[in-house]
Amino acid sequence: MPAAPQIEVRRVAATPAEALDRADEVVDQLLDAGRSPGEILVLTVGEAHPWQQHELSFGEERYWAQLAEGGDVFYADAALTRQARREVVVLVVNGGRPARAAEAYTAALGRATVLLVVCGDAGPVVTGAAGAASGRPVSA
């Protein structure tokens, strides 16, 4: 039986108040590095990302159609129940209980096919050179 693909996990140090800004920087870096917008899923643990709030203002149907179309970065709550897998998932720990962040980390790991970037504190602590250094620029 072939081994499951290994998902790279990178961490960006951020307080809950900084996490959205760090996530936006990560998305910009990913796009600048050549990633297609449709390859990126941004999930928030706390309050919804402002772009998600904006898109929802056009109605639920249009919002969810964007997920199905897959042509742009998609922003959603980390408790997303719809099918959504993207090459890159950016998990934004911008609030919520630690248990919710841990659940969101596990779910986000299952949604990423290549890379998970965690902005804030969620998931197992990585020590040594194997994990991305806190605040390290993301280039993928």
9-22: pLDDT as tens digits? 999 999 999 999 99
- Give domain status of residue 132, yes or no: no
The CATH number of the domain where 22 resides is what?
3.40.50.300
pTM (2 d.p.)? 0.86
- Give domain status of residue 3, yes or no: no
Q: How confident is the model at residue 60 (pLDDT cuts 50, 70, 90)?
A: very high
pLDDT at 20: 97
pLDDT at 126: 45
- Give domain status of residue 79, yes or no: yes
- Give domain status of residue 85, yes or no: yes
- Confidence check: pLDDT of 123 > 80: no
Kindly provide the b/e burial profile for residues 12-33, where b requires at least 16 CB atoms within 10 angstroms of the residue's own CB.
Answer: bebebeebbebbbebbebbeee
- Confidence check: pLDDT of 74 > 80: yes
The three-state secondary structure class of 100 is helix
- Give domain status of residue 75, yes or no: yes
Number of domains comprising the chain: 1
- Give domain status of residue 54, yes or no: yes
- Confidence check: pLDDT of 125 > 80: no
**Cβ atoms 80, 46 nearer than 8 A:** no
- Give domain status of residue 84, yes or no: yes
Domain span including residue 15: 8-119
**Cβ atoms 71, 59 nearer than 8 A:** no
- Give domain status of residue 134, yes or no: no
Cα→Cα distances 65→16, 17, 68, 111, Å:
29, 30, 5, 18
Residue 24's contacts (CB-CB under 8 Å, 6 or more residues apart) are none
pLDDT digits (tens, 9 = 90+) for 89-107: 999 999 989 999 999 999 9
- Confidence check: pLDDT of 38 > 60: yes
- Residue 66: what residue type? Q
